[in-house]
């Protein structure tokens, strides 16, 4: 038996860095564990192996990520120099009288990025919801970049840059942050 804080302390120090962030995100999504509580626990274990990785992973930790691929997408855009995106952005649709929650993006620019896992294609109920949702989001002012398993990082970033520039004009990489 362990606490979420102790589990985060252990999984954040081990393995590949991106995997550690994804595991922390998943744990936080499931339990609501707080980074400060994990850091407090880490303070009780000075000198333990992997503390630098844990601190760096907790700096990128976001319990709003609902899948490892959403974590991958978030890390990709942060490393490309974009401001840290918000996760699970609530968007009210007054016509359908429902809330949509966008995987990640920038609410002030109304740019969203959605990672489409296989369930979006294979589950008929999910597919039908997605069709309606993606019809409505542009009508609500949102630009949405849909990302799938087959997308390459460079192509995703090119699409994001075009969306970003459509909102604020031409930019160079130094101005993204």
Decide yes or no: CATH 3.90.25 for domain 69-175.
no
Can you give the pTM of this predicted structure? 0.90
CB contact set of 79 (below 8 Å; sequence gap of 6+): none
Per-residue pLDDT of the chain (177 residues; tens, 9 = 90+): 899 999 999 999 999 999 999 999 999 999 999 999 999 999 999 999 999 999 999 999 999 999 999 999 999 999 999 999 999 999 999 998 999 999 999 999 999 999 997 666 677 887 888 888 899 999 999 999 999 999 999 999 999 999 999 998 876 654 555
Q: What is the pLDDT of residue 128?
A: 85
Q: What is the pLDDT of residue 124?
A: 81
Helical axes 17-31 vs 4-11, angle rounded to 10°: 170
Name the residue ranges covered by the structural domains of the chain: 4-63, 69-175
For the chain, how are helix, strand and coil distributed in percent, rounded to 5?
A: 55, 15, 30
Single out the residue of 54, 20, 56 nearest to residue 38, CA to CA.
54
CA dist 142 and 137 (Å) reads 5
């Amino acid at each position: 038996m362990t606490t979420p804080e102790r589990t985060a302390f252990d999984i954040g120090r081990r393995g590949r860095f991106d995997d550690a962030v994804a595991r922390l995100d998943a744990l936080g999504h499931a339990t609501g564990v707080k980074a400060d509580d994990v850091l407090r626990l880490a303070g009780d274990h000075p000198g333990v192996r992997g503390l630098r990785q844990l601190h760096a992973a907790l700096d990128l930790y976001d319990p709003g990520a609902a899948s490892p691929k959403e974590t991958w997408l978030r890390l990709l855009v942060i490393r490309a120099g974009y401001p840290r995106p918000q996760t699970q952005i609530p968007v009210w649709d007054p016509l359908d009288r429902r809330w949509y929650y966008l995987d990640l993006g920038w609410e002030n620019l109304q740019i969203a990025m959605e990672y489409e896992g296989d369930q979006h294609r294979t589950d008929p109920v999910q597919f039908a919801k997605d069709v309606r949702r993606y019809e409505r989001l542009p009508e609500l002012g949102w630009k949405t970049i849909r990302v799938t398993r087959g997308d390459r990082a460079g192509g995703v970033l090119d699409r994001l840059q075009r969306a970003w520039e459509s909102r604020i004009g031409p930019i160079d990489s130094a101005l993204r942050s």
